[in-house]
Amino acid sequence: MASNISSISGATSRSSCPTSERLVDCISAAHAAEFDEETLAAAKTFLADTLAVGVAGTVNPASDKILRTAASWGGSGQCRILGRPDVHLSALSAAVINGSQIHCLEWDALHEPSVVIALCTTTAALISEAECSDVSLHHILEALIIGVETAVFFGAAATTEPRFFRPSAAGLMGAAMALGRIRAYSRPQMLDLLGLAYSQVAGTMQAHWEGSEALPLQIGLAARSALTAADLVANGVTGPHDVIDGKFGYFKLIEQANDLDAQFDRWAKPWKITEVAHKPFPAGRATQATLTAIMDIGKETRLDMDEIASITVSLPSLIMLLVGRPYMHDMSPAYARLCLEFIAPMMIREGRIDPRLFTREILNSDRAAADAKKIAIVLDDNPDPNALAPQHIEILFADGRTEERNIGFPFGSPKFPMSREDQLNKIGFCFEVAGFAAKPAALFASIFDNVENTQMRDVIDIVAGPRKAPI
């Protein structure tokens, strides 16, 4: 009994949570005037990209199964679903579907230094928020910037390879703070919101490891949890406060960190949304350097898998963990998108990665199995547990020729960015994949033109169809 009393007496007071308070103060101090044109332009660009990949996510078979389930929870509502003009659900159910669709094709943007796919959870939560209240596009962009910055804070501080799935775990923390920004919560409310979000953190790397349909679902559930936390705060429910580095805080249970001060020093220097990378190809970001190498080689040399004897890819340890998995008969589409032995040959044969080709017939074909046997994945000596690059590829042709590339910055990264034409072409491909009748230029215009007088609902019109008339 004495030891229990001692343990309880050592608990941190709710009035003394310096790390959580410091984070909330950083968020509260971020005034609109601090968001320069580069930051706002990045927010607009990646909002468009995220919405478009969410439309494309309708092509994933798991999306329909999750939709049927979510629809059964609460019936109809006022919130629209990306790429599904005839579907309206409750805010919480819509967040689950939109979050799942945004991530399910592994096509959504990534902040590489923190290894956080940083927009998916926040965007899904903000779509539901915008559908339920009169939110301007300008305020959505500000909230998105805050959400990304917060998610990156929780990801970049980690010193070990991921155990929990950072896009859902760190993403939930970012989404919650974005909602708090939109709702203009007070400092005490923001602390409660941070704690109530943390109390729902979930989603592990096991789903990623197995290529499970639960992987994108973890994003949708995290978006729903952010909305749940925000609603609880609105009704006066309190949460734990010392949740960042407290006794049972995020950096004690979820990740490990040794220098949070350094992360605070980097807050908004620059705003992290300006460091986010596009994924040109709908496959795990860890595959993108190799796909970039294949793209570059293909511009100079004709590539034909039937004329290739072997392909050797040297990867850092994190990339090996994420996409070094072996080709397997009867693997799921989610597994295949994270299997370099399947993705690299597809890029060579098709010249692109097409989500419509992740069918059982193609995944299980003799050709796919034979192609995979030509791929050798080798662990390099990079000591950084969070390194995504460089990646080295060597192609040996049957006639003895070789081609090599060392890729430090994949196509789509800030140091090798997609042009506006590339961005529009990607969005057009997203719409094509989904069979969705919308024009990429219209989506960009809705986000980039006359922002001050645009409601987020007007943007959602482009990617989800017209809003249902009020009953």
Mind listing the pLDDT tens digit for each residue in 361-414? 999 999 999 999 999 999 999 998 878 889 999 999 999 999 999 999 999 999
Which of 417, 374, 163, 164 is CA-nearest to residue 288?
A: 417
CB-based contacts of 431: which residues, under 8 Å, 6+ apart?
Answer: 52, 55, 56, 437, 438, 440
Q: Residue 379 — φ and ψ, nearest 5°?
A: -80, 130
pLDDT in tens, 110-138: 998 898 999 999 999 999 999 999 899 99
What pTM was computed for the model?
0.94
In the chain the domains, ranked by start, together with CATH numbers, are: 14-275 (1.10.4100.10), 285-407 (3.30.1330.120)
Burial (0-12, 13-18, 19+ Cβ within 10 Å), 160: exposed
Which of 426, 374, 382, 385 is CA-nearest to residue 408?
A: 382
**407/352 Cα distance (integer angstroms):** 18
**406/386 Cα distance (integer angstroms):** 18
> What are the pLDDT tens digits along the chain (471 aa)?
333 333 333 444 555 799 999 999 999 999 877 899 999 999 999 999 999 999 999 999 999 999 999 999 976 799 999 999 999 999 999 999 999 999 999 999 999 889 899 999 999 999 999 999 989 999 999 999 999 999 999 999 998 888 999 999 999 999 999 999 999 999 999 999 999 999 999 999 999 999 999 999 999 999 999 999 999 999 999 999 999 999 999 999 999 998 999 999 999 999 999 999 999 999 988 899 999 999 999 999 999 999 999 999 999 998 998 899 999 999 999 999 999 999 999 999 999 999 999 999 999 999 999 999 999 999 999 998 878 889 999 999 999 999 999 999 999 999 999 999 999 999 999 999 999 999 999 999 999 998 878 999 999 999 999 987 654
Which two tokens mark 11?
């608990």
- The DSSP output letter for 254 is T
User: What length does the chain have?
Assistant: 471
Q: Determine how many CB atoms are found less than 10 A away from the CB of residue 439.
A: 13
